[in-house]
Amino acid sequence: MKKQHTIALTLIAAAVVAGCASTPSSADLDKMTADIIKSSFHDRGIVKVSVLNTDEINTVCSAADVAGKPLDSDVAIALQNEQLKTIKWPADGNYMGDWQKGEKLAQSGKGLTWSDKADTQNGGNCYNCHQLDPAEISFGTIGPSLTGYAKTHGVLADPNSPASKAIVEYTWGKIYNSRAYSACSVMPRAVHNGIITEAQAKDLMALLLDPKSPVNQ
């Protein structure tokens, strides 16, 4: 965002030097920046210019980031509640898939580039931000470690308890749309934005919650 504003300001400065009588307002500047960016891109393969479109929560979070201030708590809660409404819970009530598929998905960062085909299966890229299998030596630290996830959240001790049920639902929701729980989370809204499918989300659930998963060994 700051880089975009810098570009726009450079153009504005040139216009002023050229003899323009007034400087655009902040709203005009934002529109000019958006127009410049959109005019610089075009559809290519599966990647469409529409990816530049933003929704309210992105706009608000970007503005807070530029201002260097956290969101007002009431605004954050309102935004999270709206995002929570987008989550679709498994119709069959089954949250668990195959942890082995989940591990492959977590390791993969493939997909979503212009050269991919429309039916390319995207990766989850989970290791880019989290530690999962403790045997894996390559992982990011942007997000918290998820090693021992089911153990540390008490799911293995009593999987049928109300507390465990709440953790299962929270985990599903977090994978589906992370901003339902943290308004300006940097975690991708994986299922909500079509990055992964619901079936893939179930495989990631198994990776985190299945007692046989290496995450919980």
Q: Which domains does the chain have, with CATH numbers?
A: 2-71 (no CATH), 99-216 (1.10.760.10)
154-210 residue pLDDT tens: 998 888 899 999 999 999 999 999 999 999 999 999 999 999 999 999 999 999 999
On average, the pLDDT of the chain sits at 87
Better-predicted residue by pLDDT, 45 or 77: 77
pLDDT at residue 170 in the model: 97
Sign of CA dihedral 127, 124, 153, 211: negative
The mean per-residue pLDDT over the stretch 144-163 comes to: 93
For residue 28, what pLDDT is reported?
79
- 3-state SS assignment for residue 47: strand
* pLDDT reading at 130 higher than 90: yes
- Name the least confident of 22-31, 56-65, 97-106: 22-31
* pLDDT for 33 beyond 80: no
- What number is the average pLDDT over the span 10-35? 64
Higher pLDDT, 33 or 201: 201
Residue 6 has pLDDT above 60, yes or no: no
CA distance 139 to 130: 6
pLDDT at 100: 98
User: In whole angstroms, what is the distance from residue 111 CA to residue 117 CA?
Assistant: 9
Contact (Cβ atoms closer than 8 angstroms) between residue 51 and residue 22: no
pTM of the model: 0.80
Q: What is the pLDDT of residue 22?
A: 62
